[in-house]
A and B are shown apart, each in its own frame.
Chain A
Amino acid sequence: MKPHPFDYLRADSVDEAIKILAEHGDTARVLAGGQSLLALLNLRLLEPAMLLDITGIPDLVNIREVDGKVEVGAAVTQNRLLAWPGLKEKLPLLAAALPFVGHFQTRNKGTVCGSVAHADPSSEIPLSLAMLQGEVILRSLRGTRTVPASEFQVGMLTTARKPDELVTAVRFPAQASRRVAFREVARRHGDFAIVALAAIADGSKIRLGVGGMADRPAIREFPADSDVPDVINALAWECEGYEDMHASSRMRRDLLRRIGPVVIEEALQCAG
Chain B
Amino acid sequence: MRRVNRNQRGRISVKLNGRQVSAEAEPRMLLSDFIRQELGATGTHVGCEHGICGCCTVLLDGVAVRSCLTLAMQVDGRDITTVESLAGADGALNALQRAFRNNHALQCGFCTPGILMSFTDFLRRNPKPSEAQVIEVLSGHICRCTGYTGIVSAVLEAAAANDRNEGDKP
Contacts and interface: CB of A to CB of B under 8 A. Distances in A.
A108 B59 CA distance: 10
Contacts of B74: 31, 34, 53, 55
B35 to A, nearest CB: 15
Interface residues of B, number: 36
B45 interface: no
Nearest to A55: B74
For chain A, which range describes its interface: under 10, 10 to 19, 20 to 34, or 35 or more residues?
35 or more
Nearest to B2: A10
Contacts of B51: 35, 38-39, 106
A259 to B, nearest CB: 20
Contacts of B49: 1-2, 42
14 contacts: A1-B49, A5-B6, A6-B28, A7-B5, A10-B3, A11-B1, A16-B1, A38-B30, A53-B71, A103-B54, A104-B136, A105-B54, A105-B140, A106-B66
Contacts, number: 113
A202 to B, nearest CB: 29
Interface of B: 1-7, 10, 26-28, 30, 33, 49-51, 54, 57, 60, 63-66, 68-71, 73-74, 118, 121-122, 136-137, 139-140
A38 B27 contact: no
A45 to B, nearest CB: 10
A99 interface: yes
The list of the 5 closest CB pairs from A to B, nearest first, reads A103-B140, A8-B27, A5-B6, A39-B50, A38-B69
Contact of A108 (B5, B28, B63): B63
Given A8-B10, A9-B3, A16-B1, A104 B140 contact: yes
B28 A4 contact: yes
A5 B57 contact: no
Interface of A: 1-12, 16, 31, 34-35, 38-39, 41-43, 51, 53, 55, 79, 99, 102-106, 108-109, 188-190
Contacts of A34: 69-71, 74
Contacts of B57: 105
B50 to A, nearest CB: 4
B36 to A, nearest CB: 13
